[in-house]
């Protein structure tokens, strides 16, 4: 059973970072035809010495409230880049919380981690949720440009659950949009299908890639592929896996198209 954010103490958290009790798992993201694995998403896991687990969202909420969100963000980035360096040609997606993304030196910090870990910038994708861009779109746009300048890409995560402001999509040069699982769950209900068609067409028309999150059934996969989604992620293909299971998983698929 996962502990709530309110049950975590600062020394607990800092000790977990020091002792590397916080780990990162990786969930494959496949092309819509299911043939190759162009990317993996890094997801935080925290198993305490007593065997209890703290869910990713609770760990992030705690780090946020304790003013440690950039410590956590850079820790995950460094762990993930170190692990993924040898997965040739595979893009690494890393979640970054809105407050961390808003820090003026965020892109410089990312560049430093890439240097230290020898991870190629063109294989890194930063995932941010809509609220990271909504508060201050001008600043978000500059951050995205800085990340593009170092060679990284930026995806909008959980699209459709927040403000869903179309002006954000119009103004900000995201490389990819990830449609939230809550929409995928609705397939094949008529209204869900109508909304998904419109979302996918919109994102594609803006020249961005589109990923569907939380794909669990073959019916969902068939619909999303036919509707024009580029990438699919979900339990249908793989749960998040420890780093040492990824090479064997990748070996079962064709090399990712360039
Ligand atoms: P997210 O970035 O949208 O990640 C996808 C979440 O959906 C993950 O949950 C993943 O395990 C889960 N998922 C993927 N496919 C399926 C599926 O087919 N069915 C179901 N039921 N679930 C699926 P997880 O790992 O618990 O992470 C939850 C959220 O916590 C993430 O949502 C992200 O917002 C946040 N998070 C995780 N790791 C980090 C991190 O390192 N930094 C930050 N800032 N946030 C993180
Ligand atoms: Mg994500
Ligand atoms: Mg998501």
Q: What is the mean pLDDT of residues 105-134?
A: 96
In a domain, 255, yes or no: no
Q: Identify the residues whose C-beta falls under 6 Å from ligand 1.
A: 27, 43-44, 55-57, 60, 76, 95-97, 127, 157-158, 213-216, 233-235, 240
| Residues shown for the chain | 258
Residue 6 CA to ligand 3 centre (angstroms): 23
Alpha carbons 119 and 117: distance in angstroms, whole number: 5
User: Does some domain include residue 117?
Assistant: yes
Looking at the CA of residue 100, tell me the nearest atom of ligand 1: 44
Residue at 151 is within a domain: yes
State how far the Cα of 137 lies from the Cα of 6, in Å rounded to an integer.
Answer: 31
Q: How many degrees, rounded to 5, is the angle at CA 239 between CA 237 and CA 245?
A: 95
Residue 25 has pLDDT above 80, yes or no: yes
In ligand 1, the atom with minimum distance to the C-alpha of 180 is: 3
Q: What is the pLDDT, as a whole number, of residue 29?
A: 98
CA-nearest of 107, 112, 116, 118 to 152 is: 107
Q: What is the pLDDT of residue 255?
A: 82
- The residue segments making up the domain with residue 202 are 2-238
Please answer whether residues 86 and 117 qualify as being in contact, where contact means their C-beta atoms are separated by less than 8 angstroms: no
User: For residue range 166-187, what is the model confidence (pLDDT) as tens digits?
Assistant: 888 889 999 999 999 999 999 9
- Write out pLDDT tens, residues 179-227: 999 999 999 999 999 999 999 999 999 999 999 999 999 999 999 999 9
Q: Give the C-alpha separation, 155 to 10, whole Å.
A: 31
- Global confidence as pTM: 0.97
Q: Is residue 248 situated within a structural domain?
A: no
Q: For residue 2, what pLDDT is reported?
A: 56
Residue nearest to atom 8 of ligand 1 (CA): 43
- In this structure, what token pair is assigned to residue 17? 């970072």
Q: Residue 83's pLDDT is what?
A: 98
Tokens found for residue 80: 């993930």
Q: How many domains does the chain have?
A: 1
Which ligand 1 atom lies nearest to the CA of residue 235?
A: 18
**How many whole angstroms from 223 Cα to the centroid of ligand 3?**
19
ω before 188 within 30° of 0 (cis)? yes
Give pLDDT, residue 165: 74
User: 160 CA to middle of ligand 2, Å?
Assistant: 13
CB 58 within 8 Å of CB 2: yes
In the predicted model, is pLDDT for residue 14 greater than 90?
A: yes
Per-residue pLDDT tens digits for 138-164 = 999 999 999 999 999 999 999 988 776
Distance 146 CA to ligand 3 centre (A): 23
Predicted confidence (pLDDT) per residue in 32-77, tens digit: 999 999 999 999 999 988 888 999 999 999 999 999 999 999 999 9
Query: How far is residue 5's CA from residue 10's CA, in Å, rounded to a whole number?
Result: 11
Confidence of residue 5 (pLDDT cuts 50, 70, 90): low
Q: Are strands 22-31 and 231-232 parallel, antiparallel or unpaired?
A: antiparallel
Question: CA angle at residue 181 from 176 to 184, to 5 degrees?
Answer: 100
Residue to mutate, 43, 59, 77, 161, ligand 1, most ligand atoms under 8 Å from C-beta: 43
Q: Which residue has the tokens 């995205």?
A: 144
Nearest-atom number in ligand 1 for the CA of 215 is: 18
pLDDT at residue 3 tops 60: no
Which CATH number do you get for residue 138? Answer: 3.20.20.450
Identify the band that residue 8 occupies on the pLDDT scale cut at 50, 70 and 90.
confident
pLDDT class for 4, splitting at 50, 70, 90?
low
Query: Can you list the positions of beta strands (E) in the chain?
Result: 22-31, 39-47, 53-54, 91-95, 124-129, 153-159, 176-179, 209-212, 231-232, 241-242
Domain assignment present for residue 243? The answer is no
What are the beta bridge partners of residue 92? 40, 124
Domain membership of residue 253 (yes or no) is: no
Residues 186 and 196: their CA atoms lie apart, in Å, by 9
Residue 246 lies in a domain: no
Structural domain contains residue 250: no
For residue 1, pLDDT over 80 is answered with no
* pLDDT at residue number 161: 87
d(CA 157, ligand 2 centre) in Å: 5
């Amino acid at each position: 059973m996962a502990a709530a954010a309110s049950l975590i103490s600062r020394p607990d958290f800092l000790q977990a970072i020091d002792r590397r009790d916080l780990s990162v798992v990786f969930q494959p993201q496949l092309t819509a035809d299911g043939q190759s694995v162009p990317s993996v998403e890094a997801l935080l896991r925290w198993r305490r010495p007593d065997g209890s687990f703290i869910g990713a969202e609770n760990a992030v909420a705690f780090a946020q409230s304790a003013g440690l969100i950039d410590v956590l963000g850079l820790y995950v980035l460094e762990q993930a880049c170190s692990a993924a360096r040898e997965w040739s040609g595979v893009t690494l997606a890393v979640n970054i919380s809105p407050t961390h993304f808003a820090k003026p030196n965020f892109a410089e910090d990312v560049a430093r981690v890439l240097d230290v870990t020898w991870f190629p910038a063109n294989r890194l994708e930063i995932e941010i949720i809509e609220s990271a861009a909504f508060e201050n779109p001008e600043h978000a746009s500059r951050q995205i440009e800085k990340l593009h300048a170092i060679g990284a890409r930026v995806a909008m995560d959980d699209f459709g659950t927040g403000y869903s402001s179309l002006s954000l999509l119009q103004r900000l040069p995201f490389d990819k949009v990830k449609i939230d699982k809550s929409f995928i769950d609705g397939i094949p209900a008529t209204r869900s299908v109508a909304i998904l068609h419109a979302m996918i067409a919109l994102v594609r028309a803006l020249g961005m890639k589109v990923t569907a999150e939380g794909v669990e059934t073959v019916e969902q996969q068939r619909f999303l592929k036919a509707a024009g989604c580029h990438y699919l992620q979900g339990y249908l293909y793989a749960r998040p896996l420890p780093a040492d299971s990824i090479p064997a998983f990748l070996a079962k698929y064709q090399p990712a198209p360039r």
